[in-house]
Structure 1
């Protein structure tokens, strides 16, 4: 019946429904023929090659792009690696030609783009279809592992400067946003996560160009940022199903937090990749590293992002990424790498490094404490994070605990700073009250006072209520028949329970001294941080300043420190219990050792304070 030829004729019809149904039918036929006879339909292949080489905008190109994307998705999710490679190899050259038209490199003087993007009505649709195809190709380079990587599978990384130019150029806003999200997923190595999760086979060994491509993408981002790329990035208002929602305020609109998070993560992960590839010397010195962060702050100010009246910038991670766990953990991990690189290169002592980190918003102690505050110091939510594979929390948590055991004084100082009025209290109250958020950051290296305003009401949930303690958890270990609350012994290779219990009782003793009411161990010791204003529970010490980090000798407020220690102690207990019952999904021995060492640091610090009191 020559079915495929008839379907190809419908590819170029102006009726979008007919064209799309023809593309869907042709895609099914191509997949069936590949799996049955290991051959590619010559009519379909010829039509796609012609459309890609000519790059003529129209329904035919749109149908070919959609059809190829759909076929490649099916082959990837069905683990048909051989069919995928054969099909892509047949179209590799034509795809490269198409991308050279839509994503041109640096043009020489006197040349012009083949496609006049500003005058083509169909350019937006074709661009989004091409970006969808590029995400499939990028995902395939990871899913297929060590298989030879074709040129078309590297387009996102190789042509990243053109994609960045699309984001900052004159394209339609939805095209800019789609290109930015592609770059974000590429730098996070999460391309295809929307459709491949659970269906695609696990990633294999990296292809030979993997690290070079990742570094090229990171370098393209840093080069663009240094050339004021951020100044040309457009951030629209937040979109909803009913259109663009307007809220009260001076600006009248909420910023598009999807764009803000994507830009922030793209820069942070690019910095992290570049630091890892550059070794100990980093990206040219500590000043240059923090210079990129200050450029990011300038971008957020220009977009109207006002974090809140805080004495330092570390709150912005919780506020901007608070409702996206995976992005928040990626940002925290990247900022931790940036902080460690600055610590190695700056030549400053620990206290000065932490001061500089707070001024640039990358103090890891502050980030961890703000995370604990946002989950109301609920250790069961940390357990959810440890078990879940949806975030990089385990990697971040282990790296941070190793640093925490070596810098307990810095952690105690951060506890005092977070608990001070003018610190995170204003962020919580401003978000809860629905007022415009305002930030005035002091202690700037360049002496510039940063103050801007933003409307984030209704976009980011209040800190302290981002994850209610009574919410759903991945593991309901309290109700498990095998997880009764009897006294648990830690595995033989772990330190004895005395360290954990001693530290726990120290934290309880601090709580009882502050509140005057005894509490049992089985009872939840602390109310949620959002249950009452922090102003009624925290008091500024005389002579303290919001912009200065208190030290242990200054006797900072102990409540935040006690709650953090108790949360870590409870986490260690439940992980040890699950390990004993063989219910933990992996071997947590190393994690338990780190948690015990952190608790031991807490125990020693309490003993020091106790001796001073005597």
Structure 2
């Protein structure tokens, strides 16, 4: 006869491969039912089955306690029995977990899945297994309590999928432990189980996710709000065991993110899905607590995702459709969160935010003797805090109608941000332009850098459009544009620094256009549209860049005329447009030209690959990592692009930008026209007949020389246009780029007009 444990092992092996079970379902339920006593909640009472030699189907009364071994010490025998019982219970929980998982797996046979479903249903109805698993949470054995929690989470999701009413024992357990904050382990288990169930809902492909979510959250909606208020009212420094509060905070932040994800991707039905936006200041207060750095890092990244409406993208991906019902309160809630962030910044949040990086070691943060301590700044928090501040300011300014109020807010909050960043990025700046901070702060994180650049452009466009709408004078427009530059938000400076750090490599820009991992397409379209209206200012900015490059080390901005002129008056600017006299504010120059810095150098920022702008080579360390090598053969190019198209995943923002840049699906009416125009004349004339050489010889500042940033930027546009067009002709581009090519053609026309002699 086989022992009880051997039967379980055989059952586990069958379920693991998705095999069909031949015995009666009740027989298997007998072996899967953990025999735990509610009174003791330990493995000891289950020892009466440990030496059973019966097959499935025999009644429990035939399983008797094994006789003691003659002459063996009682304590030794009991320890051995406890160990065997523990292994048996762990195997039972493992079989249940695998059985529930295989139930929705396509690898298992259809008849086998039906058998598994029947066994679990009987187990839930007859064994009161929910209460037994909850009882196991109190066990001192961490592995046992963890396995019990994992098993309960899957059983809860099974009940939701099968439309079985959730057990009263589970609902009572949640309401009891989340009614107020406590440091008990049950709180952590409760939050963790809810999190696992919600993740299972998001991962599943069934079409009834909304109804399943409603069934799960309905009995806990009020409880979540009570726990939210109770937890965030705690004082971290007064806790007897801060590690317990830290664990609970981490679990709760993950659950809070899932609640907001369920709102964005499904439908908002409950207050718990809005609780963060209704009381945002409570969560932001955690950043002022003496909590571990990783908790603050997790929180500020979470806030960043909320402001960008990207919560849950990593979890849901493309398998989670957006809600069909628009959430009319979402814009209002995001605005409330943005206002709370700005209020916290005005109260000194950035000053109290610790960004000093602690060493990350395997198993903890303690540096072992003989190991070198690497100090520096926590650039994850630096980037997240910067983007959160900028995005909050952009959201707030979208609702403002007063130009003066917008100018005051821009000056106030950008000044706070630049002061916060100065000790950490100032010594790595290559110029005295206040707009360089953006590329330097985000140089290691492409997606955040482009989100920050897009937010900066949103600030600039909001200010300038409001100024144009109120019919301001030309001088006031110039002052307003200069105001955005002094506060590090001039879009031309930011874009030029961006392409400069890329080494003017068009293949990197093409990679950004193809990939949906960043918002580059949306940002690039916005900038090209702005460039058409603001060509004169772009040309002037290029002149200042060249002047600063030729006299590095001296604040070229303080020696030169005013950076900006009226964009409407300079759209058809000649080769050397005149500019009125003016200077940048002294406070801005002093703030970013000072040599003192309290922050140590950072290895993340000071890498060799970040200094592409110091030479005039068109190559860049970043270019070697581009997705496509356009100097390779045509076959390899097609192969590489096929891989790019296959790996391209369009996010919601990416799709919105695609609609902005493409025509009707499947049509391309201007393809022939674009082909003829591109073949007739390149964007930048060839070196043999370019007008640059004739004019630049007598030009002291070499505005149109090949080393000038104006020429190199336009050359980058030409190469990008040719690459996009070539891929479009081969139907290898992941979306219709006709409108994008039209924008580049407009830049070509403006360039040719600007270099044509009068």
TM-score (norm 1): 0.80
Change (3 A) 1:377 1:203: farther
Q: In the TM superposition, what is the alpha-carbon distance from 1:423 to its structure 2 partner?
A: 8.8
For residues 293-349 of structure 1, what are the alpha-carbon distances to aligned partners after superposition, in whole Å with 9 as ceiling and x for unaligned? Answer: 011111123667644252212111111111211101100000111122333456546
Change (3 A) 1:447 1:114: closer
Tell me which residue corresponds to 2:252: 130
Q: In the TM superposition, what is the alpha-carbon distance from 1:399 to its structure 2 partner?
A: 0.9
Q: In the TM superposition, what is the alpha-carbon distance from 1:509 to its structure 2 partner?
A: 5.6
For residues 441-480 of structure 1, what are the alpha-carbon distances to aligned partners after superposition, in whole Å with 9 as ceiling and x for unaligned? Answer: x933656721342334321344355862121417979655
Change (3 A) 1:60 1:394: same
2:627 corresponds, among 451, 458, 473, to 473
Query: In the alignment, is residue 588 of structure 1 matched against residue 737 of structure 2?
Result: yes
In 2, Cα distance between the equivalents of 1:95 and 1:376?
51
Change (3 A) 1:178 1:570: same
How do 1:432-511 and structure 2 match up within 5 A?
443-444=584-585, 446=587, 449-450=590-591, 451=594, 452-453=596-597, 454-460=599-605, 461=607, 462-464=609-611, 468-473=622-627, 479=633, 481=635, 491-492=671-672, 494=674, 496-497=676-677, 501-505=681-685
More displaced stretch, 178-187 vs 330-339: 178-187
In 1, Cα distance between the equivalents of 2:321 and 2:335?
25
Whether the aligned pair in 1 keeps the contact of 2:692 and 2:704 (CA below 8 Å) is: no
In 1, Cα distance between the equivalents of 2:406 and 2:412?
10
State the number of aligned residues. 543
How do 1:205-216 and structure 2 match up within 5 A?
205-216=325-336
Tell me which residue corresponds to 2:418: 297
Whether the aligned pair in 2 keeps the contact of 1:16 and 1:59 (CA below 8 Å) is: no
Change (3 A) 1:22 1:418: farther
Whether the aligned pair in 2 keeps the contact of 1:384 and 1:475 (CA below 8 Å) is: no
Tell me which residue corresponds to 1:263: 385
Tell me which residue corresponds to 1:139: 261
Query: In the alignment, is residue 577 of structure 1 matched against residue 698 of structure 2?
Result: no
Change (3 A) 1:18 1:599: same
Query: In the alignment, is residue 154 of structure 1 matched against residue 274 of structure 2?
Result: yes
Whether the aligned pair in 1 keeps the contact of 2:191 and 2:251 (CA below 8 Å) is: yes
For residues 81-126 of structure 1, what are the alpha-carbon distances to aligned partners after superposition, in whole Å with 9 as ceiling and x for unaligned? Answer: 321121012211111111011234xxxxxxxx59985434311110
Tell me which residue corresponds to 1:17: 143
Whether the aligned pair in 2 keeps the contact of 1:254 and 1:457 (CA below 8 Å) is: yes
Change (3 A) 1:238 1:308: farther
TM-score (norm 2): 0.65
Q: Unmatched 5+ residue regions in structure 1? A: 105-112, 428-441, 517-538, 545-551
2:230 corresponds, among 98, 101, 107, to 101
Tell me which residue corresponds to 1:403: 530
In 2, Cα distance between the equivalents of 1:416 and 1:558?
12
Tell me which residue corresponds to 2:72: none
Q: In the TM superposition, what is the alpha-carbon distance from 1:417 to its structure 2 partner?
A: 2.6
Give the secondary structure class of the aligned counterpart of 1:504.
Answer: coil
Q: In the TM superposition, what is the alpha-carbon distance from 1:67 to its structure 2 partner?
A: 0.7
Query: Higher relative contact order by CA 8 Å / sep ≥ 6: 1 or 2?
Result: 1
Q: In the TM superposition, what is the alpha-carbon distance from 1:159 to its structure 2 partner?
A: 2.3
In 1, Cα distance between the equivalents of 2:550 and 2:190?
55
Change (3 A) 1:474 1:456: farther
How do 1:192-591 and structure 2 match up within 5 A?
192-202=312-322, 204-237=324-357, 239-241=359-361, 243=365, 253-278=375-400, 280-281=401-402, 284-301=405-422, 306-344=427-465, 347=472, 348=475, 352-421=479-548, 443-444=584-585, 446=587, 449-450=590-591, 451=594, 452-453=596-597, 454-460=599-605, 461=607, 462-464=609-611, 468-473=622-627, 479=633, 481=635, 491-492=671-672, 494=674, 496-497=676-677, 501-505=681-685, 513=693, 559-591=708-740
Give the secondary structure class of the aligned counterpart of 2:511.
Answer: helix
TM-align CA RMSD = 3.5
More displaced stretch, 113-122 vs 407-416: 113-122
Tell me which residue corresponds to 1:524: none
Give the secondary structure class of the aligned counterpart of 1:255.
Answer: coil
Tell me which residue corresponds to 1:28: 154
